[in-house]
Amino acid sequence: MDADLEKQLLETTSEIWLVTGVAGFIGSHIAETLLNCGQTVYGVDNFSTGKQQNIDLLNNISKDKFKFFETDINNREAITSLVSKCSYVIHQAALGSVPRSVEIPVNSHNSNVNGFLNLLDIVKSHKNIKRVVYASSSSVYGDSSKLPKKEGEEGHVLSPYAATKRINEIYADAFSKSYGISIIGLRYFNVFGPRQDPNGPYAAVIPRWVSAIKKNETATIYGDGETSRDFCYISNVVYANIKAALSENLKNQSYYINIGCNENTTLNQLFDIIAESIVGEGSEKIKPKKEDFRVGDVRASLADISLSKSLINYEPKVFLREGIFKTVASS
């Protein structure tokens, strides 16, 4: 990954960063960039969804500056020890997937809410932590029909997963007001990129379709294909996390901001771009099959990123089409 922008941000600092969910898709990319920029990273993961190959990759970058701890974020003793040594916390650990949360809501709550609450309760007693950056989700906008999605205009959540992310934002507000912690939540809009897992019932749409088309298998669209999303390439998300951690515009309070591209794409359009990136000429002959809409899915999602721009100077650098071609080339 091109880390020139991140190197500019990090060239004057050398810190220890705690990255939770470090074996996961987003967490491993954040840790990779931090290590490539000379930072020290303490990584935590329990491998509930993370991959050992991501840890191997990070170890290959720097065995001196990367320290991995296989543990759960609800392990109070282990997390306390790590927090006491770090300056920044980048919290990515969670059980993702709306369908997973609908099937087993208690697991999503235990990981996403209890884990985050445990982390904040530890951080409040450690003044060495300059800021906590955590992963929220565009799913918090729920049934709001307003487009683009704007902070402060949330609807009613439509899934247990969305509820966990909204509860985390409420806890972040409460802890910031009670203890003066600097906390910022990033509402991710459909993140994709290299190393995203294409397998299993809860796999995200882009890696699943890339894998299916490459194997000459039929890909599935849930609904009529006119469901739309704001797809955000992984390098934009990495940059946003580092910007959020280091921004001098933020006070010791709680914020939550959208991280997307302000780019609207239907699933039908997405399928065509993926097919073209893999097959090239003749890709229009590849057709998906259509199945019923899934419970909890939002019909349309598009990020208003004006607050992200003003607070942390966030600007997406890689948009959908380029990101798809980068992802396919790396797979």
* CATH number of the CATH domain containing 69: 3.40.50.720
Number of CB atoms found within 10 A of residue 59's CB: 14
Give the per-residue pLDDT at 1.
45
- Residue 43 and residue 67 in contact, taking contact as beta carbons nearer than 8 Å: yes
For each of the chain's 331 residues, which pLDDT tens digit applies?
A: 445 666 666 766 789 999 999 999 999 999 999 999 999 999 999 999 999 999 999 999 988 999 999 999 999 999 999 999 999 999 999 988 888 899 999 999 999 999 999 999 999 999 999 999 999 999 999 999 899 999 999 999 999 999 999 999 999 999 999 999 999 999 999 999 999 988 766 668 899 999 999 998 888 888 888 999 999 999 999 999 999 999 998 988 999 999 999 999 999 999 999 999 998 876 777 888 888 877 767 788 899 999 999 999 999 999 999 999 999 998 7
For residue 282, tell me if it sits in a domain. no
CA 224 to chain CA centroid, Å, is 26
For residue 146, tell me if it sits in a domain. yes
Residues 311, 163: Cα–Cα separation, whole Å: 25
Q: Which one-letter amino acid corresponds to residue 246?
A: L
* Rounded CA Rg of the chain: 19
Token pair 């080339």 is found at 329
For residue 247, tell me if it sits in a domain. yes
Element (H, E) at 237: helix 234-246
Tokens of 59: 């170890």
Number of CB atoms found within 10 A of residue 54's CB: 22
Q: Which one-letter amino acid corresponds to residue 283?
A: S
Question: Smallest Cα–Cα separation from 194: which of 319, 28, 44?
Answer: 28
Residues in the chain: 331
Residues 263, 308: Cα–Cα separation, whole Å: 15
For residue 194, tell me if it sits in a domain. no
Give the per-residue pLDDT at 7.
65
For residue 35, tell me if it sits in a domain. yes
Of 134, 141, 161, 171, which one is the catalytic site residue?
161
Residues 163, 297: Cα–Cα separation, whole Å: 13
Number of CB atoms found within 10 A of residue 102's CB: 16
Q: Which domain holds residue 122?
A: 4-189+234-260+304-316
Give the per-residue pLDDT at 81.
97
Question: Smallest Cα–Cα separation from 321: which of 265, 257, 240?
Answer: 265
For residue 298, tell me if it sits in a domain. no
Residues 43, 27: Cα–Cα separation, whole Å: 9
Please compute, for residue 44, the number of CA atoms within 13 A of its CA located in the half-sphere on the CB side.
25
Which residues touch 231 (CB under 8 Å, ≥6 apart)? 189, 190, 192, 206, 261, 263, 265, 270, 320, 323
Terminal CA-CA length for the chain: 14
Give the per-residue pLDDT at 295.
72
Q: Which one-letter amino acid corresponds to residue 206?
A: I
Residues 279, 284: Cα–Cα separation, whole Å: 9
Summarised one tens digit per residue, pLDDT across range 292-325 is 877 767 788 899 999 999 999 999 999 999 999 9
Active site residue 161: yes
Number of domains in the chain: 1
For residue 219, tell me if it sits in a domain. no
Give the per-residue pLDDT at 223.
86
Tokens of 157: 């959540």
Question: Smallest Cα–Cα separation from 27: which of 37, 17, 39?
Answer: 17
Residues 54, 254: Cα–Cα separation, whole Å: 31
For residue 267, tell me if it sits in a domain. no
